[in-house]
Structure 1
Amino acid sequence: MWWPAALAATVALCLGVPALVAGGSSASGTDTVAAAPVDGSPEAGFARDMSIHHQQAVDLSFIVRDRTTDTAVRNLAFDIINTQANQRGMMMGWLDLWGLTPSSAAKPMAWMQMGHSYEPHDGSLMPGMATNTQLDRLRGLSGREAEVFYLQLMLDHHKGGVEMAQGYVDLAKNESEKRLALSMVIGQTSEIKLITEMLAERGAQPAS
């Protein structure tokens, strides 16, 4: 079930990560190497927090996959599982390369440096994340009810994810991680439009 994340971590470590520590070229053409990010940096904080955020999106998508036969919803869930599991694997691989732990005692989103006021509750650690109560409710639904509730939860999830990814883009010092965050902004913004249309097709509205 979790092979995409493991594969992505391996790819990040073996191929993609060296670009993160390459600082560019000097005027003489000699390559320079930047220091690895440290605890408390936006790079470390974003990798840790977005990994948690992505993991819940994967969990939500696995739940709905087994509770509906609707092709469009199952295809969306499959895309989210593969995309976000792979992106999570990359971020976890970077943390390992930097010699940092996959989690820290810092308050979620503290790295955004903007005094974020979101208060974690019932398992929802960051904006857009579903609560434990909502996860339990989704597990108890099936058919159209499961589809609609999943789409509502994922719409909010993507909105929170876009906010966090854009927050990192605005602070980024590592170009590879910045490109990944920007791809999240673009990809999830596109899926927000798709999910909104899918809700309308089912005669439903966003939850918030």
Structure 2
Amino acid sequence: MSHMETPIEEPETMGSDAERPRPKARPLLIVAAVVVVLVLAVWTFTAYRAGDDSGASMPATDSADADFARDVDVRRLAYDVAQTQANQCGMLLGRLDLWGLPKSSPDGYMT
């Protein structure tokens, strides 16, 4: 036998099924899986029913819901503009560095 070969036990020497303890986690795992599936099914059904806006009315122009939606949109837009401009500024300053030019003109602004 070479160093790469390892002895393999035959099934008869490993013991019979009666000698080995049965894992008790398997029934628990099945029950947990069934519970998860049922919870997801109930949640999906209730979310679908709650999302049915066929009879719902639109919020008023001056309602808290409308103000919140506007505020979130304005904040997101302002954040996007600030991040985009910061990125563009970094790219332009990087180009000036690559070209070996100063970051500000000695002649003044945009001359």
TM-score by length of 2: 0.35
The structure in which a higher percent of residues are helix is 1
